[in-house]
Amino acid sequence: MVDAVPYFDLKRQFANLRDEILPALERVCETCAFAGGPEVKAFEDAFASYCGTTHAIGVSSGTSALHVALRCADVGPGDEVITTPYTFISTTWAISYCGATPVFVDVDPTTRNLDPTKLEVAITERTKVVLPVHLYGLPADIDAITAIAAPRGVTVIEDAAQAQGAAIGGTRAGGLGRMACFSFYPGKNLGAYGEGGAITTNDPEWAARAARLRDHGQTERYYHDELAFNYRMDGFQGAVLAIKLAHLDAWNRRRAEIAARYTDAFASTSLGLPTVPDGFETAWHLYVVESDERDRFREHLQARGVPTALHYPVCLHEQKPYQHLGYSRGDFPNAEHLAGRVVSLPFFPEMTDEEVAHVIDAVRGF
């Protein structure tokens, strides 16, 4: 029996990978390929093949991936980019960095992702991109979104930061939109040992531009084609990510196993539970329930050694940097409802069966 469970524990993963990781880090030190280089290239090739895309471009974070992708779509001042108000704020940072305006569309209360039925009315002559987020690992309904966006000349770019390994009808996240953006923040399903991100696409021109934009706009050293960034992935991250990519499917299977146990055990409770529509495969990045009595529920769990987290307590239209957009409370009722009810439970592949059982007992005890 255990009497406490960590919310998350990366040390266990390192203990399992130590003998693979340390020699790879040593190799980077010995070759001194610290910024970009062969380890990054090898990871990019492996990640493109994993996502089923022709190109993957390693970058310094998920945020920089989004910024570069929007620049590939020529998003700039005066343009609008449609996204969900219920995501991590990086999604809209990237829009703002381009000088464009985020336009929000409410989420579907069951998938918690951008609701395609509310998309059409939000599209204007200024809309350049729709940027749906695969929240908690579940792909947004890209087919329905594309059916509305494409005839209106609006490009679909995926925020796949939380969705490494997710798929719709067998097509992996990364290959669902014109371009996709991943984060390898350490806590992600595929996490770096520091910051990291990637862009995937099947479009050779966009891929070439993304590769230039992350590297000062250079095609040739010291010849700069356009205003660009230093968003390169570093060699250590390429080496670590290539090793970890080989384990991703097994980790995701273990996540799915734990999720299935949670869902079975909580079916008879009053909690709102994650749902996965037919034909969709979630990466199970987080396991998020909804409670009408969130504070009391969290206190109950904490007292039983079960820490929890909130992803996310405040919608983006209610965050301080976005007050100028002029939205107010009530504009996105489904997102606001979620923000007041969600609770993320302990959930990571190295959790033991005993720990899973302990979480279940604590939740059911409420």
Ligand X SMILES: Cc1ncc(COP(=O)(O)O)c(C=O)c1O
User: Is residue 274 involved in binding ligand X (CB under 6 A)?
Assistant: no
Q: Which of 53, 61, 200, 334 binds ligand X (CB under 6 A)?
A: 61
Interface with ligand X in residues 70-109 (CB under 6 A): 87-88, 90-91
Minimum Å distance from CB 87 to ligand X?
5
Stretch that binds ligand X, among 61-69, 165-173, 254-262, 315-323 (CB under 6 A): 61-69
209 vs 311 by CB, closer to ligand X? 311
User: In this complex, which beta carbon is closest to ligand X, that of residue 44 or of residue 195?
Assistant: 195
Residues in region 189-218 near ligand X by CB under 6 A: 195, 197
**Residue 33 vs 192, nearer CB to ligand X:** 192
183 binds ligand X (CB under 6 A): yes
Which is nearer to ligand X, 201 or 237 (by Cβ)? 237
Cα dihedral sign, 208-211-217-221: negative
- Which range binds ligand X by CB under 6 A, 144-152, 154-162, 250-258, 346-354? 154-162
Of the pair 231, 266, the CB lying nearest ligand X is at 231
Residues that bind ligand X (CB under 6 A): 61-63, 87-88, 90-91, 133, 159, 161-162, 183, 185, 195, 197
